[in-house]
Structure 1
Amino acid sequence: MDPIVALAVAGALLVGTLVVGFVWQARDGRRRSGHGRRVDAEDTGALAPRATLVQFSTELCARCPQVRRMLGQVADAHDGVVHTEVDLTHRTDLASKYHVLQTPTTFLVDAAGVVRARFNGVPRRADVEEALGAFPRLQEA
């Protein structure tokens, strides 16, 4: 192969890889619509009266512990909000059922079990707080 052609092919592969990497990074952790999908309480545990933060993780997920801490802090700061974690290592059927292709993946679920927001990757705390702000507050008793 001609050295010029080889360098051009290598350069094109490098540029293509960089573009894919930048797009992937830009989309990681972004809030997406839940598309009205419902979750079963049997799969995720009891649903909270206001909202449930459902984190899908695996045992070998390096980013899951930081997401677990952050979502736990968000849940503790809001009345009627609970954080629950589903380990896909032991429940691989749920990865297919809910179309989870990477961990961590987080669902923001209302009291009726409807997914209102979905975060693939590590969500920013501000994005989770903003999505949670759309949920009605619990009435004082």
Structure 2
Amino acid sequence: MSPLLALGIIAALLALTVIIGLVVRRRDGRRRTGGALQFDPLDAPAAEWGSRATLVQFSTEMCARCPQVRRMLSGYAADDGGLRHVEVDLTHRPDLSARYRVLQTPTTFVVDDTGAVRARFHGVPQRHALTEALAAF
């Protein structure tokens, strides 16, 4: 293989990696619909559920951004009496990642009082998107 061809392949792979990274970063933290997904309260048995909505955060022990999300969601729950924050550690419950299709941590669900997932956020939720999702309740 010629050095020029190898350099061209490396440049193409680098460009592809940058494009994929930008797409993933752009989608991170945006609101998505929950679809027909139902959250089972037995998956977080010690949790106190909100009368209006519950913010369910999926995290792991090694997650670098999870403490930031925990502080943000706890702040939302402290400001609203009908809202609660529940954290589910996927380190100890890896079966839940497949059940709820959680591919990265942190992932946050906005769950109504019936257990229906109304919105989901991958990564750190954007504040305005989280506020809009909660305003629907």
Q: Pick the TM interval, shorter chain.
A: over 0.9
- Verify: 1:101 aligned to 2:93, yes or no: no
Q: How far apart, CA to CA, are the structure 2 residues paired with 1:62 and 1:55?
A: 14
> Residues 71-118 of structure 1, C-alpha deviation per residue, up to 9 Å, x if partnerless?
000111123000010011111111111111110000000000000000
Aligned-residue Cα RMSD (Å) equals 1.0
Q: How far apart, CA to CA, are the structure 2 residues paired with 1:2 and 1:96?
A: 45
Match for residue 128 of structure 1? 130
How far 1:46 sits from its partner (Å)? 4.1
Q: Normalised by the size of structure 2, how large is the TM-score?
A: 0.95
Where 2:124 maps in the other structure, the secondary structure is coil
Where 1:18 maps in the other structure, the secondary structure is helix
Q: Is the 8 A contact 1:47 1:113 kept in 2?
A: no
How far 1:47 sits from its partner (Å)? 2.6
Q: Percent identity?
A: 58
Correspondence list, 1:74-89, <5 A: 74-89=76-91
Correspondence list, 1:1-141, <5 A: 1-44=1-44, 45-135=47-137
Q: How far apart, CA to CA, are the structure 1 residues paired with 2:53 and 2:70?
A: 16
How far 1:129 sits from its partner (Å)? 1.0
Q: How far apart, CA to CA, are the structure 1 residues paired with 2:54 and 2:71?
A: 15
The residue type equivalent to 1:53 in the other structure is L
